[in-house]
Amino acid sequence: MGIFANIFTWWNGSTFGTWVGLRGKEQVGEDSLGNLYFQGGADMHGRPRRWVIYKGSNDSSRVPPEWFSWLHHQIDDVPDRALPPLRKWEQPAVPNLTGTALAYRPAGALEKGGKRVAATGDYEAWTPGA
């Protein structure tokens, strides 16, 4: 597919039109996942417009929390300068795993064999008029 996929499909990453639209915009940073962040122009409230170009598939859960804050104008400067350094107990953000083999599946889910623990007897069903 090559160049045609880049022109016509948005779900595989940014399209050719997106890159043309980013001409003249300033690249302000890159996160640990390889996503690129741009800023330029102004929105209808006078704030600078901000974009993310995903490395790989377009999935908003792949934006780390600190860059999410920057994209949504919760912080003014890029995260490296605006936020304190990570603490040793903080863990890296995890993308949304729904629909993947790593998604959470509770006991009793068909993917885990479909067997649940038997009820303990502490449940009493409601019956009308009782």
Q: HEC profile for 74-115? A: CCCCCHHHHCCCCCCCCCCCCCCCCCCCCCCCCCCCHHHCCC
**Residue 128 counted as domain residue:** no
Q: Is 58 among the domain residues?
A: yes
In a domain, 86, yes or no: yes
Helix (H, G, I), strand (E, B) or coil at 125: coil
- Going residue by residue through the chain, which has 130 residues, state the pLDDT in tens, using 9 for 90 and above: 555 655 565 555 566 666 676 778 888 999 988 999 999 888 899 999 998 888 877 778 889 889 999 999 999 999 989 988 889 998 887 778 888 888 888 888 888 777 887 777 777 888 898 7
Measured on CA atoms in the order 66, 72, 73, 74, is the torsion positive or negative?
Answer: negative
Does 65 map to a domain? yes
pLDDT score recorded for residue 75: 92
Q: What is the dihedral angle through the alpha carbons of 42, 20, 22, 32, rounded to the nearest 10 degrees?
A: 150
Name, in order, each residue with C-beta under 8 angstroms of 58's C-beta and a sequence gap of 6 or more: 10, 11, 12, 13, 14
Q: Is the pTM of this model over 0.85?
A: no
Determine the Cα–Cα distance for residues 7 and 13; give it in Å rounded to an integer: 10
Q: How many domains does the chain have?
A: 1
Q: Which domain range does residue 25 map to?
A: 3-95
Q: Enter the tokens of residue 110.
A: 């068909």
Contact 67, 32 (CB under 8 A): no
**Is 102 part of any domain?**
no
pLDDT, position 79: 92
